[in-house]
Amino acid sequence: MKIIGLNDQEVEAALRSAGLGLSVSEARSIAEVLGRDPTVPELFNYDTMWSEHCSYKSSRATLNEFLHTTGPNVVQGPEEDAGIVAIDDEWCVVIAHESHNHPSQILPNEGAATGIGGIVRDVNCMGAKVVATADPLRFGDPYGEDKNHVRWVAEGVVDGIWQYGNALGVPIIAGDVVFDDSFDTNCLVNVVAIGVVKRGEIIKSRAPAGAGEKGYDVIVIGKPTDSSGFGGVTFASEELREEDEEANRGAIQIPDPFLKNVLFKANEALFQLTRQEGITIGFKDLGGGGFTCASSEMGASAGYGMDLDLDKLHKASENLPPEVVACAETQERFMLICPPELTPRVLEIYNEDWDLPNVYEGARASVVGKVTTNGRYITRYRGKVTCDVSIEHLTKGIRYAREERPRKTSLSEPVITAPDDLTDALLKVLASPNVSSREHIYRYYDTEVQGNSVIRPGEADAGLIAPVRGEKFGIALSVDANPFYGRISPYWAGATAVAEAMRNVAAIGAYPATLTDCLNFGNPEKPEAFWEFRECVKGLADAAKALWLKGYEDTPVPIVSGNVSFYNESPDGTVDPSPIIACVGLIDDVRDAVTMNLKKAGDSIYLIGPRFDELGGSEYYRTVYGVTGKNVPEVRFELERNMIYAVIDSIARKLVVSTHDISNGGLGATAAEMALAGKGDLGMELALDSAGSDLSADRLVFSESSGFLLECKEEAEEELEKLLKGYGLDIMCLGKVAESPELVMTHKGKTVLRMDLETAKKAWTGGLAEAMR
Amino acid sequence: MKIAVVQFPGTNCEHETLVAARSAGLSGEIFRWNRPAEELSDFDGYIIPGGFSYQDRLRAGAIASKEPVMEALREEAELGKPIIGICNGFQILVESGLLPGLDGVNVALAQNVMVSKGEIVRRGFYCAWTTLRHESPPKRCSGSFLLEKGDLIRMPLAHAEGNLVTADERLMDRLNEENQVVFRYCSEQGEVDDEFPVNINGSLENIAGICNPEGNVLGMMPHPERSSFAFQLPPTDARKCVGDMGAAGPGRRVFESMKRYIEVRR
């Protein structure tokens, strides 16, 4: 394509008419480095590799500045497809976390399904068995102006997740769903996958040492390449405009969990073969950026070049232009780099043993080229060289220094007169789509497949699996982020998301071992959006640093994987800042974990965490009064750390039999959920005067300051109090588990809340189903 | 006693099913669909595990039921060897005519339709724990050989199409008269109520599992392999944390029954 000699307007016109997202200056810099006009396939390769999605060109500097990605338990930081931390001397947990926001807004079912499909490949390609997924979701207001569209998106996304995840055979053990009008035209669909692998059996997504010198084969495995998903990463790196919707549909990939299921089994046979033979391979999934991204990164990260023949790649049609073959994001594909002597056995595994060509039309494993030592990224098609560029220049990407400017808001605390009786207010909060039981959704998810599930959605604050038969250890998983806090303070949204994700795994007795962050924001070219992004990253990094890895003082909880999703914006506005955090917790023996349902009448209920006047962004303000407020919950780092570790220790010492953290809906919702999670036959009688605060009753009940409620085992009170004091925590025994199915709260000699659990259950179980109807 | 866990493209419960069978004292292996079908005759019994064979194309189980390995299994069934189909395995056995085994295909496992108080309250995929009441006399059926009539066992289910229907008005009478109804969905206390959530998928007469007239072939929608270890139970079940990681859950009785059935036949 001609660039040299043309003026800026002419270059701009040429780029746009070709469908490229590159800027004029980017295109000129490429021509300059090449010393000639680039070919069209070359420009598409650069467009892909230099997109925000692949290159993190706006975010990289901020991430490097703030995030702690190393730690004593880190086996693999964020530079590969998935991060890895050690469980014990033998086993490791692998985690990856991504967004699939734009595709899910346009085609909810396919978008969400390919989100799951992509993230499980990231974990599997490290040599791991994928053992669980989680899905944090954000939808628009189900009762607002766009309600019909919002519900269509929500239903389609949930369908896409279960149809893919259930068929693949990976249990969905965690997730969250928040409805907020800032997501009316930009839903967020994040996906988390975890796997297990032995430390000595991890496979890297790069060409192995010696691959260039010995001319290792490059093999593409899976579905035949078609044009689906062409332009996907570029589409993910622009704002969504309604008029582009038709064109954008083509950028969405097509899911196939059936083929993936067979591919995973064939991959396991490949992994077994390489372990037996002691051969090191490189293995990577083909995801965003397709063939170009996988092949160039696998070569460049090992300092090698690539010589690839697109004619040898199996395709759905022979009429595809070279740039489509190279950059399409056809799903269910992997790339393997192996010594040539292994190749015949690899082809046998995929093409004969697992019979890919008969399982799916056109699917197979094909040798497409060689690793080289010349540092060039060369592709050939129909006998011609279609790309010949420096592999390092192609993959190292570019960096932009973006401007930041605080977003101006005019939020204030409301003046409210609380009713004397808070029962109705709590019922409203329990019925809110953001607080009510998630059962309507999780019954669609196969939470039991693989037979490893110990704690499922709805039973506790985090899911728990025992992923290796014969071993006692468990992996807990939770996800969190509150967009309403993000609207008020992006910094505290980042910090509270980390704290709550950690509290969630602590609440079952697991210690937080690692975090991942999927950072969902608006257009980074706008200084306010970029400011929100930086504030969130600062907040979450500060919290990870201050809350410490258990057993190590002053050592941050490492963040080993993550993703940045910008451009979650349309002409109608931007999404509330959403730094979605996933936390992996570990527990030595899954049978020591506790759930949140009340266990026994007469047990004492303790509050951990003093209540503060922090109702900004709370469910109470929004649901009962229709206001946002300003006093967002803050994370008091030392207090938070002591709370989290006191809870983990009290569970390990078997002093508490149920726990639930305090978050959306405050102490009131937490107490109600503990009563409703079981059979609903046990209630609670709580005296708010013991909460050690002079706040009014409604603030005590609904403040979302962080904390926990604990149910103490009979006659363990003294020991629990001693443990809590040892952590410098106030002793706040609020009352007892009651035999009657009723939640009662008193304050200053008056009953301020009396709610029968039958009524509460109706409100709590109906809210989400009603919102998604 | 060696069993084959038959694997089709799209099967996804073969590993935990084999683990559960082994915990009951059976030995065995996973048998890939494109192995020579005649090798199946080396085994003493067969399990067709859950999953989405051939992506549920056409109907759940329809394509797998036409595979050569199913023709081989039909011959083994005629020899009286036990076959247990779980979830998608049940669907495959129905599509192949092995169940209910009354000349041709005369029942179907249709889409779940949950009905309460005359209203449809939900449709489609559903994953939850349920309780099964054992309906047939002891020793009637391979997979429930050790169970007494009226025994209750808890296990989870997870499917979109498990709603047993038939167009044959006399079929239910025949199944009941011949004791071919092996399991029904019931409450934790054992009451059979045809309303959701007890009748969890809308099945005729709450049917969760049936056998063929000879009793050696059993199909059931719920998953005994997901309830073969105590740690798998829900937190409200007092048995959950008793014993070690190998401690038995209620579902193991199905595999123990299969083992006993093979022993007795010898």
Write the pLDDT tens digit of every residue in B99-119.
999 877 789 999 999 999 999
* CB-CB neighbors (< 8 A) of B229 in chain A: 451
CB distance A220 to A365 below 8 Å: yes
Q: Establish how many alpha carbons lie within 13 A of residue B186's alpha carbon, considering only the half-sphere containing its beta carbon.
A: 18
Q: Is A26 exposed, middle or buried (0-12, 13-18, 19+ CB in 10 A)?
A: middle
Which helix H or strand E contains A15, and what residues bound it?
helix A8-18
Q: Give the separation between CA A742 and CA A680, rounded to whole angstroms.
A: 9
Its sign, for the CA torsion A580, A586, A591, A596, is negative
Q: Tell me if residue B174 falls in helix, strand or coil.
A: helix
CB distance A112 to A189 below 8 Å: yes
Q: Give the separation between CA B203 and CA B188, rounded to whole angstroms.
A: 18
Distance from CA of B133 to the nearest CA of A (A): 21
Domain range for residue B102? 2-265
φ/ψ of B27, rounded to 5, equals: -115, 165
Q: Closest Cα partner for A559 from A5, A78, A118, A176? A: A78
Other residues' Cβ atoms within 10 Å of the Cβ of residue A740: 14
Give the pLDDT of residue A231: 79
Residue A278 touches chain B, beta carbons under 8 Å: no
At a CB cut-off of 8 Å and minimum separation 6, what does B150 contact? B133, B134, B190
Q: Closest Cα partner for B250 from B236, B231, B264, B266? A: B231
Q: Tell me if residue B222 falls in helix, strand or coil.
A: coil
- Write the pLDDT tens digit of every residue in A722-763: 999 999 999 999 999 999 999 999 999 999 999 999 999 999
Other residues' Cβ atoms within 10 Å of the Cβ of residue B19: 17
Residue A469 touches chain B, beta carbons under 8 Å: yes
* CB-CB neighbors (< 8 A) of B5 in chain A: none
Q: Give the separation between CA A615 and CA A314, rounded to whole angstroms.
A: 58
Q: Give the separation between CA A408 and CA A388, rounded to whole angstroms.
A: 48
Q: Give the separation between CA B81 and CA B69, rounded to whole angstroms.
A: 15
Give the pLDDT of residue A246: 63
Q: Give the separation between CA A693 and CA B5, rounded to whole angstroms.
A: 62
Cβ of A168 and B12 within 8 Å? yes
Q: Tell me if residue B229 falls in helix, strand or coil.
A: strand
Give the pLDDT of residue A347: 98
Interface mutation target, options A172, A440, A449, A765, chain B, most CBs of B under 10 Å: A449
Interface mutation target, options A448, A456, A597, chain B, most CBs of B under 10 Å: A448
CB distance A616 to A487 below 8 Å: no
Q: What CATH number corresponds to the domain at position B140?
A: 3.40.50.880
CB distance A153 to A108 below 8 Å: yes
Residue of chain A whose Cα is closest to the Cα of B55 = A258
* CB-CB neighbors (< 8 A) of B34 in chain A: 355
Which helix H or strand E contains A602, and what residues bound it?
none
State the complex-level ipTM.
Answer: 0.96
Q: Which of residues 173 through 192 in chain B touch A, CB cutoff 8 A?
A: none
Q: Give the separation between CA A546 and CA A309, rounded to whole angstroms.
A: 51
Domain count, chain B: 1
Residue A453 touches chain B, beta carbons under 8 Å: yes
- Which of A449, A472, A591 shows the shortest C-beta gap to B158? A449
Q: Give the separation between CA A748 and CA A755, rounded to whole angstroms.
A: 18
Which helix H or strand E contains A290, and what residues bound it?
helix A290-300
CA separation, residue A564 to residues A117, A438, B229 (Å) = 18, 27, 41
Q: Give the separation between CA A116 and CA A582, rounded to whole angstroms.
A: 15
Q: What is the dihedral of CA A8, A14, A16, A19, to 10 degrees?
A: -150
Cβ of B51 and A353 within 8 Å? no
Q: Give the separation between CA A136 and CA A188, rounded to whole angstroms.
A: 8
Residues of chain A with pLDDT > 90: what percent?
91
- Domains in chain A, CATH or no CATH each: 1-38 (no CATH), 594-773 (3.90.650.10)
Residue of chain A whose Cα is closest to the Cα of B20 = A451
CA separation, residue A189 to residues A110, A154, A255, A342, A479 (Å) = 12, 10, 15, 39, 12
Cβ of B16 and A262 within 8 Å? no
Residue A459 touches chain B, beta carbons under 8 Å: yes
Residue of chain B whose Cα is closest to the Cα of A470 = B245
Other residues' Cβ atoms within 10 Å of the Cβ of residue A725: 12
Give the pLDDT of residue A249: 65
Where chain A has pLDDT below 70, the residues are 242-243, 245-250
- Helices A147-168, A257-277: crossing angle, 10 deg rounding: 40
Q: Tell me if residue A122 falls in helix, strand or coil.
A: helix
Residue A595 touches chain B, beta carbons under 8 Å: yes
Q: Closest Cα partner for B218 from B169, B180, B266, B264? A: B180
Of the residues A68, A100, A660, A747, which is catalytic? A100
Strand order in the sheet with A384-390: A282-285, A333-338, A217-222, A364-372, A305-309, A376-381, A384-390
CA separation, residue B151 to residues A119, A738, B84, B133, B195 (Å) = 43, 33, 19, 6, 21
Arithmetic mean of pLDDT, B114-140 = 96
State the Cα angle at A310 between A308 and A316, rounded to 5°: 145
Cis amide bond preceding A72, omega within 30: no
Residue of chain B whose Cα is closest to the Cα of A454 = B232
Residue of chain A whose Cα is closest to the Cα of B222 = A448
Cis amide bond preceding B197, omega within 30: yes
Residue A443 touches chain B, beta carbons under 8 Å: yes
DSSP letter string over B5-43? EEE-TTB--HHHHHHHHHHTT-EEEEEETTS-GGGGGG-
CB distance A170 to A133 below 8 Å: yes
CB distance B213 to A575 below 8 Å: no
Its sign, for the CA torsion B95, B97, B103, B107, is negative
Which helix H or strand E contains A53, and what residues bound it?
helix A52-55
Other residues' Cβ atoms within 10 Å of the Cβ of residue A510: 31
Give the pLDDT of residue A613: 97
Q: Counting one residue from A and one from B, how many pairs have CB atoms under 8 Å apart?
A: 99
Give the pLDDT of residue A247: 63
Residue A168 touches chain B, beta carbons under 8 Å: yes
CA separation, residue A301 to residues A30, A144, A298, B223 (Å) = 21, 48, 6, 45
Give the pLDDT of residue A239: 79
Its sign, for the CA torsion A262, A263, A268, A269, is positive
* CB-CB neighbors (< 8 A) of B52 in chain A: 166-167, 257-258, 261
Residues of chain B with pLDDT > 90: what percent?
90
- Which of A449, A454, A456 shows the shortest C-beta gap to B13? A449
Active site residues of B: 87, 223, 225
Q: Give the separation between CA B28 and CA A34, rounded to whole angstroms.
A: 61
Q: Give the separation between CA A90 and CA A578, rounded to whole angstroms.
A: 35
Residue of chain A whose Cα is closest to the Cα of B155 = A448
CB distance A27 to A64 below 8 Å: no
Residue entry with tokens 């169940």: B99
Q: Tell me if residue A55 falls in helix, strand or coil.
A: helix
For the record, the structure tokens of A759 come out as: 């009524």
Cα A307 from chain centroid (whole Å)? 35
Active site residue A53: yes
- Write the pLDDT tens digit of every residue in A531-589: 999 999 999 999 999 999 999 999 999 999 999 999 999 988 899 999 999 999 999 99
For the record, the structure tokens of A623 come out as: 């649901």
Q: Assign residue B41 a region: left if phi > 0, alpha if psi is -120 to 50, beta otherwise?
A: alpha
R_g over Cα of chain B: 17
Q: Tell me if residue A674 falls in helix, strand or coil.
A: helix
Q: Closest Cα partner for A590 from B248, B244, B20? A: B244
Q: Which of residues 355 through 384 in chain A touch B, CB cutoff 8 A?
A: 355, 359
Cβ of A443 and B16 within 8 Å? no
The more confident residue out of B132 and A573 is B132
Residue A264 touches chain B, beta carbons under 8 Å: no
Cβ of B226 and A448 within 8 Å? yes
